[in-house]
Amino acid sequence: MSTNTVNPSASAEDNSFWSILREAVAGSSRDFTQGSIWIAIFLLAVPMILEMGMESVFAIVDIYFVGHLGADSVAVVGLTESMLAIIYAVAIGLSIGATATVARRTGERDTVGAARSAAHAIYLGVIVSVVMSVIGIIFAPTFLVLLGAEPQVIEQGTTFTRIMLGGNAVIVFLFLLNAIFRGAGDAAIAMRVL
């Protein structure tokens, strides 16, 4: 009598918590349209959570080092971070759109369409960041006044604020390119790029 049995341990994927966590951090080549939705969500969420945690650490480290320069310097960084919050909001909005369009094309297995969607998102990011840069460079002192900065803080911090607002393309493209990778299903690359 011949039976055709399959060894369950050989054909089953290792879906233990630690195995999935390792796969999430290392990157996954899984087809997220197949299998458990919860595992797919976990594989995409872990790199994003780690990415946001690293961005928070960057802000804390900035304040730590600037704290050695004095209270006015800390005030400038705090006020500029408030202005950067608007840039973060715009970048997140662009990245949500990029993730959605790239993910849709990737899900349709239309790699040309996904690449075209990514290119359009990048073009839009260039336009938006150039406009925000020009506005930020020109109006940096005005923004500091509107936020209630003291005259010595404005004098000391205008250059820093201009650099940060003028260089917003780095922020926009960090969010945008990471969103494109996430939309393509490779959230671990987005985390490693950061």
SS3 57: helix
pTM: 0.71
The half-sphere exposure of 100 on its side-chain side, counting CA atoms within 13 A, is: 6
The amino acid sitting at 108 is: E
Q: Answer yes or no: is pLDDT of 162 > 50.
A: yes
Q: Per residue in 163-182, pLDDT tens?
A: 999 999 998 998 899 899 88
Q: Per residue in 133-150, pLDDT tens?
A: 999 999 999 999 999 999
Q: Decide if 166 contacts 84 (C-beta within 8 A).
A: no
**In whole angstroms, how large is the CA radius of gyration of the chain?**
22
* 171 vs 87: CA distance, rounded Å: 8
Measured between alpha carbons, how far apart are the two ends of the chain, in Å?
Answer: 59
Q: Per residue in 74-93, pLDDT tens?
A: 899 889 988 998 998 999 89
Q: Is 61 exposed, middle or buried (0-12, 13-18, 19+ CB in 10 A)?
A: exposed
